[in-house]
Every structure is written in structure tokens, then in C-alpha cells.
Amino acid sequence: MKFTVEHIVSKILIGTSSWTDPGFVQDWYPRRLAASQRLRWYAEHFSLVEVNSTFYAIPPQRMVARWCEETPSNFVFDVKLPKVLSRHSMSAKFLPPDLRTRVPVTKRGIVQFTNESEELIVRRFLRELEPLVETGKLGAFLLQLSPSFRPKTHQLTELDSLGKLLNQFPLAVELRNRDWVTGAQFQETVEYFTERRLTLVLVDAPTSEHFTVMPGFDHVTNPRLGYLRLHGRNAEGYIKGRTVAERFDYDYSDVELRELAERARKLEAEVERLHILANNNRSNFAPKAAAKLQELLGLKRRLERHEQGTLF
């Protein structure tokens, strides 16, 4: 499989982290829009989306092919890697049936993370995602690591095997433990990502010293791809929330979005492509923020000109 990005027409792409959140269904999509039509409707507003469902289960190839059919030619999918690769607990029942018996599991049916299971899962994942590659709609893979992946118990070099398995594709890594980017560890972390030309995910997040809250910084580690995720600024919700809606319950103000637009312009100067994903997924907050950012950056007008008469 060979990855190309020739179809991408804008240097900055903006979208949301999922297109199926319950808040979107309730407060953003038209009331009587069928579930089967949501991706099509989403693609009329944005040219980028992050696939969140792949974090929980490997989708069948026929489903991935349908995503491609339902979106215009210049649409881009950033795809979350399965949670077991991110050092989260994952039950084997969420793997394809024929793969469940090939990976090592615990007595409780939890997939054990080993070199063997990593390679088996990645290779199967790539096979099911072939339609995205073949249509040129794959943007990047996103590895969203667990906060338990921290310097005291792990080394960044543990990610090398995954980097080799995905060396044909852009890989963005979101660290979720701030110890990786504080004190003397910060420079070591930046050097690791820079040397391997991996994209270190940048964030807009609450102001907090809690170990799960990453600070805001703009060190570009891969000039080919910048990746910025907007988590909102609700510190209490982010730290104590039990659901996605509680953790990312934040409605960005116009002033804050103008600040983020300026940040995006500065990052744009350092990278070939910049992906911005709104992850403040309560109600319609994320699509509203993404749409406003498109407007502030002049991307909405470009999207409309490019797509006029060509969507479906």
C-alpha cells in the first residue's frame, strides 16, 4: 500500500473528533436526518474528521468502503488506532472473530500487549482500512496513549515497533501524561519525536497541573504534518468527568477561537499540512467551534468554492 496526499487542496484542514457523538445528533444534525446520511451531511461542512470508533473496534472493510463512497474526493479521515495499541485495556471480543484466537489474552479475555499482538492487530487494521488508502482519503493515524504511559514506567522507544509497522503512513502521537513534557524530560521527548519525524500532537486544554492535562506548547516535530486537538478548557470536567460529554464540556468563545486561529497561522508556517480537530464534544460545541475556525481562517470560502457542484 502506498500513501499519497495529492488530493488535499488546503494546507489547513479542520474537523471534529468523530461525526457520531450523541450531542451532535441531538443539537447539530437536522432532526429527521437518517443515521445513514450523517456522514454525507457532515462532509458538506468539513473536509476532515477523526474516526473515533476505531479506538474501540476494528471496522470491517465494507464499512470503511462505505465511508469512502459517502464523502467527496478531497475528504480526509484521521484514524484512531485501536485502544490496545494505546496501552488501554481492550477485550478480545472487539477484535474480528478470526483474530481473537491468534492474539495472547488473559483469563478474563483481555488482549495482552506484546510484540506479537501489536503486529497482528496492526496488519489486520491496515487490511480493513485499505479503501481509505486506495482512495487517498487517509490523512494520518492517531495514537492516543493512556495516562499510565509515563516516564517512570515506560520509555518512548517502546513506540518504535509501531512506528516501523506504520512507516508508510503519517503517525501522530498524543501523550496524555504531562510528565513527558515537563522539566528535563521535555527536551528528550521533543528530540525523540523530531529524530523519528513523528508528529507530537499539540493541544488546547484546561489550565491545570494535574498529571493527565497536557500543557500548551507549539514544538513542531514533523514538518510534514502538524496536529492540533482542541479539548476545551473545563478543568474540573476534564479531570473528574466520567463521560466524554462531561470531560470535554466546553463552548469556546469567539475571543478564544480568534486566539486559536492566530495559533494556527503560526503553526501553518512551520508545516506542510496542519490538521485541527475540535474535541469539545458536548452538544454542538465541537462543530460550532470548527465552523468558526474555518471562517476565521478563510477556509470555509475555499471549501465552498472547491466543492460547489461536486459533492455528490
For 143-190, write each residue's pLDDT tens digit.
Answer: 999 999 999 999 999 999 999 999 999 999 999 999 999 999 999 999
In a domain, 243, yes or no: yes
Mean of all residue pLDDT scores within the chain: 92
- What pTM, to 2 d.p., does this model score? 0.92
Q: Is 127 domain-assigned?
A: yes
- Predicted confidence at residue 6, as pLDDT, reads 36
Per-residue pLDDT, 307: 47
> Is residue 5 in some structural domain?
no
Which residues of the chain are under the pLDDT cut of 50?
1-9, 301-302, 304-312
Residue 57 lies in a domain: yes
302 within domain boundaries: yes
113: containing domain: 12-307
DSSP string, the chain: -----TT---SEEEEES-S--HHHHHHTS-TT--GGGHHHHHHTT-SEEEE-GGGTSPPPHHHHHHHHHTS-TT-EEEEEPPGGGGT---BGGGS-HHHHTTS-B-TTSBBP--HHHHHHHHHHHHHHTHHHHHTT-EEEEEEE--TT--TTT--GGGGHHHHHHTTTS-EEEE---GGGGSTTHHHHHHHHHHHHTPEEPEEE------TTSPPP----S-TTEEEEEE--S-HHHHHH-SSHHHHT-----HHHHHHHHHHHHHHHTT-SEEEEEE---STTHHHHHHHHHHHHTTHHHHHHHHHTTT--
pLDDT of residue 8: 38
Provide the pLDDT for residue 4.
Answer: 39
Total structural domains within the chain: 1
Domain assignment present for 199: yes
Which pLDDT score is estimated for 243? 87
Which CATH number does the domain housing residue 23 bear? 3.20.20.410
Residue 291 included in any domain: yes
Question: Is 3 contained in some domain?
Answer: no
